[in-house]
Amino acid sequence: MQKSRTLSGVLLASGGAVLWGISGIFGKLLFEGPNTVTPAWLTAVRMLLAGGLLLLYSLTRHGNPLAVWRTPSTAIRQILYGVLGLLPVQFFYFLAVDYGNASIATILQFLGPIVIALYYVIFKRQLPSRAEAIGMLLALLGTFILVTHGHFNQLVVAPLALFWGLMSALAIAGDTLLPRPLLPKFGSINVNAWGLLVGGVQMNFIQPVWVGVPQFTWQLAGEITVVVLFGTLIAYVMYSNSLLYITPTTASLLDAFEPLAATILSIIFFSIPFAWADAVGGILIVLAVVMLSLNVRPFKKRRK
């Protein structure tokens, strides 16, 4: 029975990670498609629709989604999470996908836990453990190999793709730390649902969903459905339910399927050349995050 429960948790967590990787691929298809879809417009649509659907899912599960708004302190933190946490993570990630590809964007965003470890070192005055120190060095080396292929005088990644990818990794810190006090009391689904909705409303001040609407085609509708339904809603639900069967540490280790899926699908869909340096750099970054996940530290990786 225990083995069956563990297997269920592993399949749910890895499946959710793969779906997150797939959402980046379909985002790239939308940006390069015949219709004009921008990262800002897709971010606004994704956050509003996925947030609303997650809220409906919570209601069907007899949740209490309004509870977070009954106390001013939790309401303010929920708003900050949506605006300063989920919104930049979502938007910066799609910008990195647009200027580069889903593989690079996902691998660079995977550096998020390294940023969080640095936060504890700099602002909490906590010296890094041996695992954290080694993980940071591996991440730095992996990023260098990934973006330069080992040559100091060249970048093989578009500068804007590198910039927005690193910004999305930086945004992971807010995405991780802001909701921490809310999660035990209100649950991951409720907190993420409201975070997506709040972020989506804020994104409409930057890019209203009714402005620049692309011409409707069934292909466009299908690709947006994959991003919103599979790459966001189902992925969140799968990952959250996996925690009923496995530990958060195990689930976070299975996040490695996200950059793996994004890389494999980028090669298949876009014929992106994949050099040995890409493999080495990506592996070093994933290994660095694995070391941090195994290390005891009072933070848990959050989703984009």
Query: Does residue 300 fall inside a structural domain?
Result: no
The tokens for 271 are: 């014929």
Query: Does residue 299 fall inside a structural domain?
Result: no
pTM above threshold 0.85: yes
Nearest-angstrom CA–CA distance, 257 and 280: 16
pLDDT above 90 (res 303): no
- Looking at residue 197, its pLDDT comes to 96
Query: Does residue 262 fall inside a structural domain?
Result: yes
Query: Does residue 302 fall inside a structural domain?
Result: no
Number of domains in the chain: 1
Nearest-angstrom CA–CA distance, 291 and 273: 28
Query: Does residue 154 fall inside a structural domain?
Result: yes
The per-residue pLDDT for range 70-83, each reduced to its tens digit, is 999 999 999 999 99
Residue 185: C-alpha distances to residues 4, 52, 191 (Å): 28, 20, 10
Query: Does residue 163 fall inside a structural domain?
Result: yes
Nearest-angstrom CA–CA distance, 130 and 143: 20
- Looking at residue 34, its pLDDT comes to 83
Over residues 129-152, the mean pLDDT reads 84
- Looking at residue 1, its pLDDT comes to 63
The per-residue pLDDT for range 70-127, each reduced to its tens digit, is 999 999 999 999 999 999 999 999 999 999 999 999 999 988 888 888 888 887 777 7
Angle at 157 between CA 147 and CA 232, to 5 degrees: 100
- Say how many CA atoms lie within 13 Å of 290 toward its Cβ: 11
The per-residue pLDDT for range 150-177, each reduced to its tens digit, is 777 778 889 999 999 999 999 988 888 8
- Looking at residue 222, its pLDDT comes to 94
The per-residue pLDDT for range 33-53, each reduced to its tens digit, is 888 899 999 999 999 999 999
**Domain assignment of residue 117, given as a range:** 1-294
Nearest-angstrom CA–CA distance, 200 and 35: 22
The tokens for 98 are: 């647009």
- Looking at residue 200, its pLDDT comes to 96
Query: Does residue 102 fall inside a structural domain?
Result: yes
Using 50, 70 and 90 to split pLDDT, how confident is the model at 295?
low
